[in-house]
Structure 1
Amino acid sequence: MSLDYSQMFRLDGQHAVVVGCGGIGAEIVAGLAAQGARVTCLDKDLTVAQAALERAPGGAAYPVDVLDPGDLESRAGDLGDVDVLVLTAAMNVRKRLLDYTAEEFDRVVDLNLRGTFSAVRAFAPAMVERGRGSIVTLTSIRAVVVEPGQGVYAATKAGVMQLVRTWSAELGPAGVRINAVAPGVVETPLTQQIRDDEQWDRAYAQKAALGRWARPEEMVGAVCWLASDAASFVTGSQVMVDGGWTAIDGRFTPPT
């Protein structure tokens, strides 16, 4: 069946679930709702989920702990048919590898890698049974390039991308797509420490080809596209929304 080009980016009549509704997640909730989706907001902090829901009329908000597979599976069962799943929950402990504690390592790996694994395991089986669905998870430029102090976070994001590739192979025959969106440096509360340092802030801005930080809402278009029929033949991909960060070789612009 051919695509209706006038509607292929729309999500009317679809049920989208967003896990992790603060920061970029809140913008994704608003973007999915604007495209016509009915959005369910899930977050460990119910107040965060409820705040995001204010921009998605007709949706719902519930608490969920992605580190509790039983909680995820129970919630997935209660929500009924889900057409779109978006995963944003993640954390970082910015330390050099030799300074990391075992407890810090476990916290970052558990949320970023195991949490993603558990969320897909909870929601994907019903998509497989129905023969359709789109899953989008947020990775990072750190899945591709690193710097001192980002090692464990980078390893988890690269690991998530390898899971995405494997899931695309395993779920694709059932009609379920899974992709990743990799943000660059984004103006969120989590990056405030960096932006408060003038040199650090300027260095990060200048590393991107566009010469600036991203705004959270600039991540939404890629997510909505991957969720929609416009990306019906896209799976196993990582879309770089990084302002050209990973396209540039080094931070020095030589004279030409």
Structure 2
Amino acid sequence: MVSPFDLQGRTALVTGGSKGIGFGMASALIRAGAKVAIAGRNQTDGVQAARQLCEHGGEAHFFQADVTDKAQVDRMVRSVAERFGRIDILVNNAGMNIRKPLLEVEESDWDAVMSTNLKGIFLVGQSVVKQMAAQNSGSIVNVSSVLGGAAMPNQSSYAASKGGVNQLTKVWAAELARFNIKVNAIAPAYIRTPMTEKWLEDPVRYKEIVDSTLMGRVGDVSELAGPVVFLASSASSYMTGHILYVDGGWLAK
């Protein structure tokens, strides 16, 4: 009997897949049997990440694109579809953060975060859906954040962008069900990655974060493996429009 978590024969595209959460999710998908395309801006990092993913015994390739540029996104998605023949899974992960108090946020800060975290999610999703609708199947996993549903100081642009991701997820679920495309989101709390490591070294900030969670700690990238495979696979075949919080109990506290 085939496991509902088995991704053999499926192709996944993971944006921002060269490092951190994106790389961890790409690793989980390839271990579950998927062929994986990772997309990002940095060619060197992307090629190295794809090489590491292949060490799991699967197939992975890097495709260069800036998710804030529609022409680059469309070209990247076409290249992925041509290389693999189809796109079954999209993990819409590329994102960034600029942490500043409200009175110090520059217009350029706001625009940079919104452009990557919200416009980028929209552009990639729109382009991939053209492929999935033609197939009459697909699974989209948008990467949100616990801060899309909870408040924390100095996170105006980031929290607003992730709240937008949550709403995009629900709207797309409503629109795309007729194409047999399910759309869900993973909303992690703080996950220890190379990008957050230095920030988490601040004892005041670290205490603020762990005091917000029932589990009293930050998460590990490996703890997103099960959730992303679950939402990407047929194991979640009756789920769409759902925001799955992987937050150590943050919202329950």
Q: Same fold (TM over 0.5)?
A: yes
Equivalent position SS for 1:245: coil
1:8 to 1, 4, 8: 4
**How far 1:25 sits from its partner (Å)?**
0.7
1:225-240 matches, cutoff 5 A: 225-240=230-245
Please give the alpha-carbon distance, in whole angstroms, between the structure 2 residues aligned to 1:77 and 1:225: 26
2:147 to 142, 151, 156: 142
Percent identical: 33
1:1-256 matches, cutoff 5 A: 6-21=2-17, 22-53=19-50, 54-56=52-54, 57-80=58-81, 81-248=86-253
**How far 1:28 sits from its partner (Å)?**
0.8
Please give the alpha-carbon distance, in whole angstroms, between the structure 2 residues aligned to 1:66 and 1:100: 23
Please give the alpha-carbon distance, in whole angstroms, between the structure 1 residues aligned to 2:202 and 2:159: 22
Q: Deviations over 1:50-84 (max 9, x none)?
A: 23221233221121110111111112112221000
**How far 1:170 sits from its partner (Å)?**
0.5
Please give the alpha-carbon distance, in whole angstroms, between the structure 1 residues aligned to 2:124 and 2:244: 20
- The alignment's C-alpha RMSD in Å is 1.2
Letter in 2 for 1:47: T
Distance 1:112 1:94, change over 3 A: same
- The structure whose Rg is larger is 1
Please give the alpha-carbon distance, in whole angstroms, between the structure 1 residues aligned to 2:157 and 2:28: 30
Number of aligned positions between the proteins: 244
Structure 1 unmatched runs, 5+: 249-256
- Normalised by the length of structure 2, the TM-score is 0.93
Letter in 2 for 1:55: L
Equivalent position SS for 1:142: helix
Equivalent position SS for 1:66: coil
